[in-house]
Amino acid sequence: MKIFNTEQIRDCDRYTISAEPVSSAGLMERAAEACTKWLRGHSRNNETFYIFCGNGNNGGDGLAIARMLYQKGFDTEVFLDLSNENYSEDARNNLQKVRAMSGIGIHDFQEAEDWDFNPKSTIVDAIFGTGLNRKAEDRTARLIEHLNRQTIRKIAVDIPSGLFADVMHPDDAVVFRADHTLSFQFWKKAFLHPETGIFCGKVHVLDIGLSREFIHRTVTRDYIICDYLIRNVYRRRPDFSHKGNFGKTCIVAGSYGKTGAAVLATKAALRTGSGITFTLAPASSYEILQSACPEAMFINGGEDHLTRFNSDDDYVYGIGPGLGTERETAAGLTAFLTQYTRPVVLDADALNILAENGLKKFPRNSVLTPHPREFERLFGKAADSFLRTGLAKRKAAELQIFIVLKDHHTQIITPEGLVYYNITGNSGMAKGGSGDVLTGIITSLIAQSYPPEEAAVLGVWLHGTAGDLAAEKHGKEAMLATDVILELGNAYRSI
């Protein structure tokens, strides 16, 4: 699924209006109908809706929603900035229709400050839309702050008011904090970054019938990892095959006291479908690994930490979980990366070693899986996650690598500057061991001859989907990284 910026969305609206043809008012009706249908399906019969409308087309959407909800039997109250008569044409037309309905109350924004909101009610934010390019000020900012203090359900139409769709909002901006956001046709970048996504609640993308032709032919570099993409990437396992058809995975991991990380990465590689799996680890990890992962073979790489990095062109290496940063380990890793030419997967302590030694030379098409702090140590600090993504795009192009930037919505960034946002996964995965599992998954997929880009995309999706299945079974608080591994089979089945 493509992610469009504000200008592209505006162009898509215009193209749809001219190509169908449909009027802008008709398109607004479609958007309002989609929102009304969602609201009806997720509300009680006696629900009261307080709809806050701006003067632009987002406000026009809100006014049309108010009219449709009232016609469906819901109590509806509309709040406007009555001191400002500068409405868009479609918003003005919808306001006239609402005024013609005696059962809908129309109030000034200022009245909300003393309003006794029904606890069995919903606030609908339709103040600002995606065209916002400056922060909310004065009475509108005070209104949003007041609405945020209310403890009833809050829903944003298209985007929470105060957010910019494509970039970070100013630090002192006031933003509506929604429980749900009803977005028209597309995901927006603001929904996917941590500083802005926290205002959106659960995002629901509503199809309003924008032109499929325009969407298909319009170029973007940002994508959502959707079911359609995964079905096209996934390769069904042939019946007539043997273990040699599915590659050799070598997990390079573990040190004294950190063997668990090696176990998790190895088990994940096995569960993802690796044909033959090895674990290169110190001797102190031998008994644990052989007991926990009997399907994998052990390679001795040192005593309590790794000092020897075997190099075999038949293996695909995933390096880093629980590795430690001992001097001999760092020297061995540096020597390995200097001579090895095939793509490797680097995570955790492998990234820390590279950062400490200032090494930024990787085999072409390697996959790095840093969390934000590891990324910062490697490539430098960015003021916010939008700028961090930009920096990651530059580094991926410069070094010809793939960067899996782990976050709530993990991003896969390619050397060509494409960004794939993952929307599977949950906060229950924010625990030690989750990253080790992801390393094993991606390494196993590359060993099975998936190109690194496809391995990263499919791997991150599998990881998140298995995490969602584990959360359903155990709850976010109680689920473990081991539970994610055990759900990989069900994640595959869901494809």
CATH number reported for the structural domain that contains residue 111 in this entry = 3.40.50.10260
Q: Confirm if 69 and 76 have CB atoms less than 8 A apart.
A: yes
236: number of Cβ within 10 Å: 6
CA angle 173, 175, 180 (to 5 degrees): 160
Q: Confirm if 76 and 149 have CB atoms less than 8 A apart.
A: no
Tell me the H-state helices in 306-403: 327-339, 348-356, 372-379, 385-399
- pLDDT above 90 coverage of the chain, percent: 93
Please tell me whether residues 411 and 462 are part of one structural domain. Answer: yes
Please tell me whether residues 388 and 275 are part of one structural domain. Answer: yes
* pLDDT score, position 352: 96
pLDDT average, residue stretch 183-198: 97
Q: Domain end: 220, 245, 265, which one?
A: 220
Query: What is the extent of the structural domain holding 355?
Result: 230-494
Please tell me whether residues 238 and 335 are part of one structural domain. Answer: yes
Residue 212 pLDDT greater than 80, yes or no:
yes
- List, for residues 300-336, the tens digit of each pLDDT value: 999 999 999 988 999 999 999 999 999 999 999 999 9
CA angle 90, 96, 101 (to 5 degrees): 130
pLDDT average, residue stretch 204-220: 97
pLDDT average, residue stretch 389-396: 97
Please tell me whether residues 332 and 243 are part of one structural domain. Answer: yes
Q: How confident is the model at residue 131 (pLDDT cuts 50, 70, 90)?
A: confident
* pLDDT score, position 289: 98
Query: 225 lies in a domain?
Result: no
Please tell me whether residues 291 and 173 are part of one structural domain. Answer: no
161: number of Cβ within 10 Å: 27
Residue 135 pLDDT greater than 90, yes or no:
no
Q: Domain end: 193, 220, 247, which one?
A: 220
Domain count, the chain: 2
SS3 of 23-81: CHHHHHHHHHHHHHHHHHHCCCCCCEEEEEECCCHHHHHHHHHHHHHHHCCCEEEEEEC
pLDDT average, residue stretch 432-460: 98
Environment class of 86 (CB within 10 Å of its CB; exposed 0-12, middle 13-18, buried 19+): exposed
* pLDDT score, position 361: 80
Q: How confident is the model at residue 40 (pLDDT cuts 50, 70, 90)?
A: very high
- List, for residues 49-100, the tens digit of each pLDDT value: 999 999 999 999 999 999 999 999 999 999 999 988 899 999 999 999 999 9
Please tell me whether residues 264 and 191 are part of one structural domain. Answer: no
Query: 1 lies in a domain?
Result: no
Please tell me whether residues 251 and 203 are part of one structural domain. Answer: no
pLDDT average, residue stretch 28-33: 97
Q: How confident is the model at residue 386 (pLDDT cuts 50, 70, 90)?
A: very high
pLDDT average, residue stretch 446-452: 98
Residue 383 pLDDT greater than 90, yes or no:
yes
In the beta sheet, which residues pair with residue 276? Answer: 248
CATH number reported for the structural domain that contains residue 440 in this entry = 3.40.1190.20
Please tell me whether residues 215 and 313 are part of one structural domain. Answer: no
* pLDDT score, position 76: 96
Please tell me whether residues 136 and 257 are part of one structural domain. Answer: no
**β 367-368/402-405 pair status:** parallel
Q: How confident is the model at residue 165 (pLDDT cuts 50, 70, 90)?
A: very high
Q: Confirm if 481 and 433 have CB atoms less than 8 A apart.
A: yes
Please tell me whether residues 332 and 462 are part of one structural domain. Answer: yes
CA angle 408, 401, 253 (to 5 degrees): 70
Q: How confident is the model at residue 360 (pLDDT cuts 50, 70, 90)?
A: confident
What distances in angstroms separate CA 171 from CA 125, 162, 384, one per listed residue? 21, 11, 10
Residue 416 pLDDT greater than 80, yes or no:
yes
